Amino acid sequence: MAARPGVKRRRIGIAVALAAVACGLAVHLGAADTAASDIAGDALYVVAMWGGLVALFPRLSSWPIGAIVVAWSVGVELFQLTGLPVAWAGEWPPIVLVFGTVFDARDLLVYAVTGAVLATTDAAVRRALGRRAASAAA
């Protein structure tokens, strides 16, 4: 018996989130601190958030998930302007994995582009799978 669409999508979300976190940790811990590693880390942050939201809300459509992920990411980036994340990182370094440290306007573009790519890809895959399911049922 095939898994219901919501269950399958939830599993995909969990797998994507776990893979993105693993890759993000590899970049954070193993890559030199360059613009490329910063951009990769930012993109992987968005991918992990997207996977987490898909796992939590598998029936929510692609665009609202993309919008929530981008809004959260932008909010976190703007929160860095308060100076709290960098202060917290001094007390507990792993917090940088969630809140970062200092504001970088380039990150806003990375979040928007990554969110749009994820939402577009997700919507296209869901449409294709829906067409395949419809033709199989006919």
79-107 per-position pLDDT tens digit: 999 999 999 999 999 999 999 999 999 99
CB count within 10 Å of CB 86 equals 16
> How far is 107 from 110, CA to CA, in rounded Å?
5
Domain boundaries, the chain: 5-137
Tell me the percentage of the chain whose pLDDT exceeds 90: 84
pLDDT at res. 133: 72
Q: How far apart are CA 101 and CA 108, in angstroms?
A: 14
Q: What is the pLDDT of residues 6-35, one digit of tens each?
A: 889 999 999 999 999 999 999 999 999 999
| pTM listed for this prediction | 0.89
If one compares 93 and 4, the residue with the highest pLDDT of the two is: 93
Give burial (CB, 10 Å; 0-12/13-18/19+) of 69: buried
